Chain A
Amino acid sequence: MGSYVLRRLLQMIPVIIGATFLIFAMVFGIGDPAAGRCGERACPEAFLVQFRQEYNLDEPLIVQYGLYMAKLLTGDFGESFSGLSVAEELINRWPTTIRLAVIAVCFEALVGIAAGILAALRKGRFLDYLVTLSSLLVISIPVFVVGSLSQLVFGIRLGIFPVTATEGGWFDLLLPGLVLGSFSVAYIARLMRSTMIENLRSDYVRTARAKGLGPGRTVGVHTLRNSMIPAITYIGYDLGALMGGAVVTERIFNINGIGGFLFYGINTKDGTIVVGTVTCLVLVYLLANLLVDVLYGVLDPRISHD
């Protein structure tokens, strides 16, 4: 187990280096690194001089990268054109986005898994068709459409939820959280249903029945444990991916989280914000992946006990 974790950690290092280098190279290696840093206008000369110095643009690319990474690791994500410290802004905005992601993940886990299990157990009956068809429909609606429409219906027409969530309280974030999790909830329901159906037909479930175990143990212990592995793994990845996906939801509901910050950066053409936020989100995503891989090893002994 220990060696498995270590191996995963070591395998992750080149990926992290590669991914950050990729982003770095796109920003600094191709084209004009100072483009799109200063809003709609061209950058003033003084800014360019300072910019070249700050990012060591006179050094070779690889040295630039090293110095850039060293900055990132010390938490220096640069300053926006309007003088905001990107790192500080990110730290201030994390709690909101995390709250949003937590709501989404809880929604996915509870509703998605439950729906998938029920559909598998009632395979071929009404409930199964209900889950299968509704998840098919939900998976087809892009999150920004779900967001805009539910804002229209629940926020504006019915008035159940606040139309925007600028304050970022738990209740304010409830509707945006459900919206953010909508794709995954449907995906997990489908995933859970198909793994569950497959496992219910497995030899070891037949063995469980041959052991004289009741349906509670056969399904609850012998089928569920195995069937949860893909869904839990997916939720783990999603926790990382959701933070990025939040840019859409936060734009629609006007939320002051990380995603809202990224959208602000895009809108005001502030490259430091865009690059810093994207890098940060990719790192979070990779970290979540690493945790999931470790978790996967814990859940499935076949992976880690070799």
Chain B
Amino acid sequence: MADVRIQGVTKSFGDTVAINDLDLAIKDGEFVVLLGPTGAGKTTTLRLIAGLERPDSGTIHIGGHDATTLSPAERDTAFVFQQYSLYPHLSVFDNLAFPLRSPARRFPEEAVRRRVEDVARMVRIDHKLDNRSTKLSGGEMQRVAIGRALVRKPAIYLMDEPLSSLDAKLRADLRLELKRIQSELGATMLYVTHDQIEAMTMADRIGILADGVLVQIGTPRAIYSEPANLHVAARLGQPAINLLPAGLLPDGGAPTGTKTIGARTEHLAIEKATNGHADGVVDWVEHLGDQNHLHVTVGTKKLVTLTDPDTPLAKGDKVAIRYIAPLYFGSDGQRLM
């Protein structure tokens, strides 16, 4: 394991700037998640570190060595692709052994077998080692793909949305397994996703990418409660943060220059209007089972919050709404303190 340092890296494809002046340092043993929408430059960042792309400018250091111009084979990274790129002509065992059998390594076959069996147990695929890789379910294929990265002990594991093609249940299971494996190995890992739950649950630090720029990086807690700007605030939280114009609701204590107020569920106190004063009307209560989504119309704006499953509120009720220390954003979209 080793640390990875990216300094001032820019990469364009034709006229499109995929990565713009990126600085990112990943500490030894750290689990960093890059979160961003499609086209934000997440995958390009991984490919730059792996050596599948060359940066137009800037440097990449892996384990203290300048790796900017090294070939992928010389960099000692392991990559899990978004699509399970298992070799269809090989068995599960041979897929897992493939990285160890590379001419650059030359492990004795006995050591290969031991290592493959260890990893197969770790990713819980040891009962299917002799299967053809095409005869596996989606979850099994993805476990093999992750296992193929884990058989080596590279400087850094690079994972490109490894769980995105799986169904929800499997994704939750593998998410836990992956985090467990990572902390067991003490692995340095850069993980790319557009799933905020994966980011929140697994990351030591989350980096938010937008249009090739690293907007903010910090602990999941910091990213969630102290977003740098509107974009970051909108990436996290379920239901999505309500962005309301200043002055729509009583907002005593808003700093000067506040243009937008960001209010998540925990920033709002909603109760039935009692003394004739009402801020909004309940549109509809969406039953999710363990909780409810409450849709409220305030003037011309709509807001959505979580509420108890046994909420007394019903469609048509007039409600009073109060902010509880919400997030304030200036006209440039940056958060105000």
Chains A and B form a bound pair: no
Binding site for B on A (CB under 8 A): none
Q: Using a CB–CB distance below 8 Å, which chain B residues touch chain A? A: none
